[in-house]
Amino acid sequence: MAGEQDLLSTEIVKRGIERSGPDAGSPTFSVRVRRRLPDLVQSVNLKYVKLGYHYLINHGIYLATVPVLVLVFTAQVGSLSREELWNRFCDAARYDLATLLASFGIFVFTLTVYFMSRPRPIYLIDFACYKPSDDLKVTKEQFIEMARQSEKFDEESLKFQKRILDASGIGDETYVPKSIMSKENCSTMKEGREEAAMVIFGALDELFEKTRIRAKDVGILVVNCSIFNPTPSLSAMIINHYKMRGNILSFNLGGMGCSAGIISLDLARDMLQANPNNFAVVVSTEMVGYNWYPGRDASMLIPNCFFRMGCSAVLLSNRRRDFPRAKYRLEHIVRTHKGADDRSFRCVYQEEDERRLKGIKVSRDLMEIGGDALKTNITTLGPLVLPVSEQLLFFMTLIKRHLLGGAAKGKEGSSSSSRSSSHASNPNSKPYIPDYKLAFEHFCMHAASKTVLDEIQRNLELSDKNMEASRMTLHRFGNTSSSSIWYELAYLEAKERINRGDRVWQLAFGSGFKCNSAVWRSIRRIKKTASNPWFHCLDRYPVPF
């Protein structure tokens, strides 16, 4: 119970003067209770650290053994003079030619197997983020007024949405489809297809123009959209519109939440590893109008306030000749899924309310569940990206805490409350928080909400500069679901902060509950272009948040 209470924070809200009743003329107040994101490293599970190290060893065995073999070979050869080395080679060639040829053949065969079995490098050639037209731009006040004019909400629901918007971190230049202004039902297949065509074709047109490739050159297509999944699929709609080739490998991912963009990347990477000399396009989007909830359930009204129009299109390649023109190389993808837990599974859940109106219900436990998934993901990612010094400090502190914890459990006659209080008061029991700023130069955290970003910054001890791209994306474009991490990367490029060799961490989380990370390394210095979605408003950012 003590640990549960530590996650709660209270806030006194002034409600004004009581107008009627026995307390008329007196000021009234209410207490608002909020649940904070749990401390991500206070309960790190050792098995996730082991998982990260296991992944690292499996992929780093060649890097560990090849230098040793080279060192041994160099030591043997270095002890001989040039004449002795030549004489031994001539003697071997003269008397044991078969052995020499066999050894050479084994050497060539080993090198061939090594290079053929090594994973192909995956390059990001370029990406595009759709910027809607200005007639779809709305302020927060206009948003509430549109909701009022649609006559779908009562006054209490409008006040609730206004409170959420005021605390959301969203600015006055986000985009919504015109269909939500209508008094009629906007969650129709027709409205969904029109919005999908607008954002998806807009992003792909820009991508093909920037990269100078034809749609027929694309061999792999992966599309993710969580809520809107028509038949034929969105991937089929793209193939039909651009008249892509008949043997294209197409995939359509639905219902996977805001982290589906990285899941799509993982699928595209696997397909590129199995299909050499190919291009892959990954499209990430969400339909705002089709997901619009016209009811009065407060937990279902929250998505209305946060989600905004957006779409990203990414071009990947496994061709080594594309290295000179590529922007980034994919280093790691780490995926975490907590769907086996019932609370995690239902924390973001699509269902009907009591009036049979469809919407997405957001649980009060979302912050706690998201924190647990995030903790697991970054613990697994740590051994892959952190410097050795940080890994040793973190691992030693973790082992120490587990040993001390085991010893404490063995003591008789001590209550759980006394153990927890002594543990909290002991400064040596505090876990070491790895400095992820040593592993990455840039951070693209999913722009879910201001509260979530604040808690991520606090727990990972990131600076305001590290969180700037995420906060400014939330302010300018809102929560664009799975495409938000690409608007954040576009912000960093527009600011010309990405230099050659820089590492970028993209992290997203969504329903399921899932938390996924992608790590990129910059191949060259990135300069801003006129096609960047931030180009025309960059001089106004960053803004106070």
Per-residue model confidence as pLDDT tens digits over 31-40: 555 555 555 4
Instruction: Look at residue 100 in the predicted model and tell me its pLDDT.
Output: 63
Instruction: Look at residue 13 in the predicted model and tell me its pLDDT.
Output: 55
pLDDT tens-place values along the chain, 545 residues long = 444 455 555 555 556 666 666 666 666 656 555 555 555 445 455 555 555 555 555 555 555 666 666 666 666 556 666 666 666 666 655 556 666 667 777 777 777 766 666 678 999 999 999 999 999 999 999 999 988 988 888 899 999 999 999 999 999 999 999 888 777 777 889 999 999 999 999 999 999 999 999 999 999 999 999 999 999 999 999 999 999 999 999 999 999 999 999 999 999 999 999 999 999 999 999 999 888 898 889 999 999 999 999 999 999 999 999 999 999 999 999 999 999 999 999 999 999 988 899 999 999 888 889 888 998 898 889 888 988 877 777 777 767 766 766 554 454 444 444 434 434 344 444 555 678 898 999 999 999 999 999 989 988 889 999 999 999 999 999 999 999 999 999 999 999 999 999 999 999 999 989 999 999 999 999 999 999 999 999 999 999 87
Q: Which amino acid is at 54?
A: H
What stretches of 250-387 show up as alpha helix (H) in DSSP?
260-274, 298-306, 342-346, 366-385
* Integer Rg of the chain from CA: 28
Q: What is the DSSP string of 399-441?
A: HHHHHHHHHHHH-SS--HHHHHHHHHH-GGGSPP---GGGT-S
For residue 307, give the DSSP letter.
Answer: B
* Number of Cβ within a 10 Å radius of residue 172: 13
| Backbone φ/ψ region at 210: left (φ over 0), alpha (ψ -120 to 50), beta | alpha
What's the rounded Cα separation, in Å, for the pair 192 and 234?
A: 11
What's the rounded Cα separation, in Å, for the pair 52 and 48?
A: 6
3-state SS, 158-179, equals HHHHHHHHHCCCCCCCEECCHH
> Is residue 212 packed enough to be buried (19+ CB in 10 Å), middle (13-18) or exposed (0-12)?
exposed
Which positions are annotated as active-site residues?
A: 258, 337, 442, 446, 475, 479
Report residue 544 as tokens. 């106070």
Decide: 350 and 359 in contact? Cβ < 8 Å: yes
Structure pTM?
Answer: 0.80
Instruction: Look at residue 467 in the predicted model and tell me its pLDDT.
Output: 96
